[in-house]
A and B are shown apart, each in its own frame.
Chain A
Amino acid sequence: MKKERANFMVNGKLYEIIIEPRMLLVDVLRERMGLTGTKYACGTGDCGACTVLVDGKPILSCLTLAVTVRDKNILTIEGIADGNTLHPLQQAFIDNGAVQCGFCIPGMVLSAKALLEENPLPTRNEIQAGLAGNLCRCTGYVKVIDAVQAAAETAGKGGKI
């Protein structure tokens, strides 16, 4: 395969894009689809800023060849809110002051979403383990963990994740 037309289902929307096998998912999302919420940082799979969900599972878009996720359901931070209503995780991050510069937050929120779908009421240790692949270099993790716990509790009372 050289250049070819490929279909991507991102945030429920179909994108038809001409790609080359060497293109990374993070670049296709950011530069071809304009979805710049997905961040590029370390490029080596250490920081988790480029995390997106593919079929509900968290992966690193900076180490993923876009060609391998054709026709799969991709969720980025742009697709997580319901119209103008923030996702409970996004609201919890704001309410708990879990955001400083914000660069790591899209990846954090998506990892947290994958975690809560697998384990709706995680312990603090389980939240730590679930977010271990996402690094924050400004504010630390306590408030992030508080936020995920708060979102899980909201969801437990009938909110949606």
Chain B
Amino acid sequence: MHRVLLPFEFFEPKTIEEAVHLLDTGNAKVMAGGVDLVLKMRLRLISPEYVISLLKVPGLDYIEGNPAGLRLGALATIRQVELSQVVQKNWTILYDAVRQIASVQVKTMGTMVGNLCVATPASDISPALYVLGAKVKIAGVNYEKVIPIENFFVAVGNTILESNEIVTDILIPSLSPGARGAFMKLAKTAEDIAKVNTAVMVTITDNICTEAKIALGSVAPTPIRVTGAEELLTGQKLDGAHIARAAEAAAEAVKPITDIRSSAGYRKEMVSVLVKDALLKATSSGRV
């Protein structure tokens, strides 16, 4: 840990277009809240020559919810999302995920987009976005594209973003009637990073599960879906036996690692516990 950062040049573009052009110039990093970037610069894991701040680009901190969906701008902070009535009411699973992130200071500084771009497998936000079917909008030099969140992560700390691209929006669709979700996390203390986390979403019509999504964090280099477990739920009545079987299948499907926070075996066990609890919570609560 270094107290003093290595020198760099600091730019404050006023538009996204200007920002991507600046990023295109070489050893440059984009900054929003700076929580992860400044920390990595202090650890000297990265030493960019240019830091391109988005903070002076006007109007990027929007949270826009309407019947079609939810749109989060690049500078929308985790805290803004936590305090948003629209999110609490209509995208409760996202609220449940961000609320677990303990430090108010980190939530106040850190952005939703920044959390994704850091690409930690332990993100509490990513699994929720997986089951919500979220997409990210990416801006590059003279183009824009929209990518499903599940195609965004490549490895620990690595996304499909090129060094001259910026995520400008997170796009989250509205949920079908009958969709019910839950988020659950297991960590050593409330403020610690997850040993395992999970988000589940089931759509129930006439007591039958027509769609099931189960996403897991901290058990692979990126967040993952466990489609085998999901298939065990689709077309079924979600009783205790089906839920238990899907939870077992989820645990069998993952190959977690042993690290400072947990052993591989414990993580596997806990996948089954968390997935079961989350499915029970989702099916009993009736909440999104």
Contacts and interface: CB of A to CB of B under 8 A. Distances in A.
B6 A65 contact: no
B146 interface: no
Given A20-B7, A21-B8, A24-B5, A63 B38 contact: yes
A68 B57 CA distance: 13
B102 interface: yes
Interface stretch (B59-67, B104-112, B212-220): B104-112
Given A22-B4, A44-B1, A63-B35, A132 B104 contact: yes
B109 A2 contact: no
B10 A1 contact: yes
A43 B191 contact: no
B108 A58 contact: yes
A37 interface: no
Given A130-B104, A133-B102, A21 B9 contact: yes
A55 to B, nearest CB: 10
B187 interface: no
Contact of B51 (A21, A63, A129): A21
Contacts of A129: 102, 104
B38 A65 contact: yes
Given A2-B9, A21-B10, A64 B109 contact: yes
B104 A58 contact: yes
B190 interface: yes
Interface string A104-121: 000000010011000000
Interface residues of B, number: 30
A60 B51 contact: no
A89 interface: no
A43 B41 CA distance: 12
A65 B104 contact: no
A11 to B, nearest CB: 19
Given A24-B5, A44-B1, A132-B190, A59 B10 contact: no
A68 B103 contact: no
A21 to B, nearest CB: 3
B109 A63 contact: yes
Contacts of B103: 45-46, 48, 132-133
B51 to A, nearest CB: 7
B227 interface: no
B46 interface: no
A24 B55 CA distance: 16
B53 A68 contact: yes
A53 B223 CA distance: 34
Interface string B128-162: 00000000000000000000000000000000000
B237 interface: no
Interface in A21-60: 21-24, 27, 40, 43-46, 48, 51, 57-60
Nearest to B55: A68
A67 interface: yes
B188 interface: no
Q: Please name the 10 residue pairs, one residue from A and one from B, whose CB atoms are nearest each other, closest first.
A: A133-B103, A21-B10, A132-B102, A22-B5, A133-B105, A63-B38, A1-B10, A60-B105, A58-B105, A57-B108
27 contacts: A1-B9, A1-B10, A20-B7, A21-B9, A43-B1, A44-B39, A45-B39, A45-B106, A46-B103, A46-B191, A58-B104, A58-B105, A58-B108, A59-B108, A60-B106, A60-B109, A65-B10, A65-B38, A65-B51, A68-B34, A68-B55, A129-B102, A130-B104, A132-B190, A133-B102, A133-B104, A133-B191
